[in-house]
Chain A
Amino acid sequence: MTNTPNAPLYPFRESPSQTAGPYVHIGLTPNACGIIGVYGEDLGTAMVTDATKGERITLELRVFDGGGAALKDVLVEIWQADAQGLYNSPAERRGNADLTFTGWGRRAADLETGVLRFETIKPGPIPFPDGRMQAPHINVWIVARGINLGLNTRIYFRDEAEANADDPVLARIEHSDRIETLLAKGAGGNYSLDIHLQGPRETVFFDI
């Protein structure tokens, strides 16, 4: 009886998030944490094959806390389009994405250095809902001990200055000096970005 004023319009509410905790690796990267033999390989390890089209890149990320320490227990997932700007997803209805490219990667930080390294391709541009084009970007989802709800951010590329200048998402960032926090720097296909959860260099996080 949704016409009854006090009845909820929709039957359910989203399950509330909880932290992934320090042992997230057991569930999401068991082979990397020494639990061998349950799964063949950890999901999200290989994004590309030899047949994947596009410019091969490596992406090295680190995530820092508000005290300036790199998180050693963080887990990051990335999601991105193929070289043509299409997603390898059932929800992609604009065309057929490159099926040799998963678009999705998952890494746990190195327990000693905190580095997360992805081998992928540079994504093509994606339309925004209003038809404008977004600059090439990679969606990032960060979970860890101490993070109660996964954090969403994006990686853009410093060498795509022209596209970045027209990007409708970057244009939403009122304090434009903060755009810098989303730009991976690099040369020769090797990009890196430091993500700061808190403090003067705090990365822009999105409510998506």
Chain B
Amino acid sequence: MKNSKPTATSYFTRDRAWHPKAYAPGYKSSVLRAPTRPLIAIGNSLSETTGPAFGDDIIGPLDNDLTLNFARPGESAIGERILVHGRVLDERGQPVPKVLLEFWQANAGGRYRHKKDGYLAPLDPNFGGCGRTLTGDDGSYAFRTIRPGPYPWPNGPNDWRPAHIHISVFGQAFAQRLITQMYFEGDPLIPICPIVRTIADPAAIEQLTARLDMNSSAPMDALAYRFDIILRGSRSTLFENRPEGN
């Protein structure tokens, strides 16, 4: 038997005080859906450091354009036209290339195309509300949509979600899997939202707030917002010589 170096990469430990806690009673649904026993720490084996990859073949030409991908021919969704773009990086600042991002959101009036959404605001016949894209070699991504409206929800007697877009991200490992929400700079509903407030640290909330990016807007067409997404960093570099670097 020969000695061999460990083969498994591992990822930076999640800071669970930076993330929202499971039990956050201001967000009532979390009360019965939060585990009460401590999580068992197991670190990363190959089960956690591998993960699915998706190829360009799954991405259709309109998948990253929510203004058009559900619209009737010659029409488009109603609302404030925006581009959302940014980069997916890890905690070392390295780009995370060729990973799948998926987006979903309400329409301009705050109504979701979902049979459980009974809000009075009408559906937009030209807006479905889902989109997806792969990051480029430099971790960059972009999609076009309309700015979603705020909507009321049955939590407190008068709670309203800020305008937000849900974002699902695959990294290169199942351990990096993440779902979050993107908010819009300057929205006064952000600091009073019970879901936002599941996050304790104001700097973490700021990290979920997209900034208006006039330099990336399309004149006479669409405003732009910049939103970078950070995934867990990898520990692999120091002792291992991987073909892709880190």
Pairwise interchain contact B180-A23, C-beta atoms closer than 8 A: no
Whole-angstrom distance between the alpha carbons of A39 and B179 in the complex? 20
**Is A147 touching B50 in the complex (CB atoms < 8 A)?**
no
Residues 14-55 of chain B: 1 if any A CB is under 8 Å from the residue's CB, otherwise 0? 111011111010010111111111011111111111111110
Q: Is the CB of A204 within 8 A of B40?
A: yes
Chain B hits for A18, CB < 8 A = 20, 166, 179-181, 195-196, 198-199, 208
Q: How far is the CA of A141 from the CA of B236 in the complex (A)?
A: 24
Q: CA–CA, A38 to B71, complex, Å?
A: 10
Chain B: interface size category: 35 or more
A13 surroundings in chain B (CB, below 8 A): 15, 18, 91, 204, 207, 230
CB of B219 within 8 A of chain A? no
Given contacts A111-B115, A149-B16, 10 further A-B contacts (CB under 8 A): A10-B92, A17-B178, A87-B50, A89-B51, A129-B43, A146-B29, A149-B19, A197-B33, A198-B36, A204-B37
Contact across chains for A205 and B40 when beta carbons are under 8 A apart: yes
Please give the distance in Å from B201's CB to the nearest CB on chain A.
8
Instruction: List the interface of chain B (C-beta within 8 A of A).
Output: 6-10, 12-16, 18-22, 24, 27, 29-37, 39-54, 58, 60, 62-63, 69-70, 89-93, 102-105, 112-117, 128-130, 132, 166, 168, 172-175, 177-181, 195-196, 198-199, 204-205, 207-208, 229-233
> At the interface, is chain B mostly helix, strand, loop or mixed?
loop
CB distance from B1 to the nearest CB of A (A): 10
- B20 with A148: CB separation less than 8 A: yes
Q: Which of A25-33, A53-61, A157-165, A183-191 contacts B (4 or more CB under 8 A)?
A: A25-33
Knowing A17-B178, A149-B20, A207-B16, the reply to whether A23 touches B116 (Cβ < 8 A) is yes
Cβ contacts under 8 Å, A70 to chain B: none
Q: Quick one: closest A residue to B60, CB to CB? A: A39
9 smallest CB-CB distances across A and B, nearest first, come from A27-B104, A146-B29, A146-B33, A89-B50, A104-B52, A148-B20, A87-B50, A66-B32, A207-B39
Report A-chain residues with C-beta under 8 Å of the C-beta of B104: 23-24, 26-28
Closest Cβ neighbor of A71 among chain B residues = B33
Q: Decide if the interface of chain A is mainly helix, strand, loop or mixed.
A: loop
Select which of A16, A77, A141, A178 is within 8 A of B208 by beta carbon: A16
Q: Which residues from chain B contact A100 at a C-beta distance below 8 Å? A: none
A172 and B33 in contact, given A21-B166, A91-B49, A129-B45 (Cβ under 8 angstroms)? no
Asked if A5 is at the interface (CB within 8 A of a chain B CB), the reply is no
Q: Known contacts A150-B178, A206-B42, A207-B41; is A26 also within 8 Å of B112 by CB?
A: yes
A14 touches B33 (CB 8 A): no
Of all chain B residues, which has the CB nearest A106? B52
Please give, as numbers and ranges, the residues of chain B lying within 8 Å of A203 by CB-CB distance. Answer: 35
Measured between alpha carbons, how far is A60 from B92 in the docked complex, in Å? 39
Contact A16 B204, beta carbon cutoff 8 Å: yes
Q: A126-B45, A207-B14, A208-B43 are in contact. Are A38 and B128 (CB under 8 A)?
A: yes
Whole-angstrom CA separation of A128 from B47 in the bound complex: 9
Interface pair B130/A148, CB less than 8 Å apart: no
**What's the nearest-Cβ distance from chain B to residue A47, in Å?**
10
Contact A14 B51 (CB under 8 A): no
B129 near A14 with CB under 8 A, answer no
Q: Quick one: closest A residue to B53, CB to CB?
A: A90
**A63 nearest CB neighbor, chain B only:** B33
Selected A-B contacts with CB under 8 Å, 26 pairs: A12-B90, A15-B229, A17-B180, A18-B198, A18-B208, A23-B112, A24-B104, A26-B104, A26-B114, A38-B63, A38-B70, A38-B130, A65-B32, A65-B33, A73-B116, A81-B47, A91-B172, A147-B33, A172-B42, A178-B37, A198-B34, A198-B36, A199-B36, A206-B39, A207-B16, A208-B175
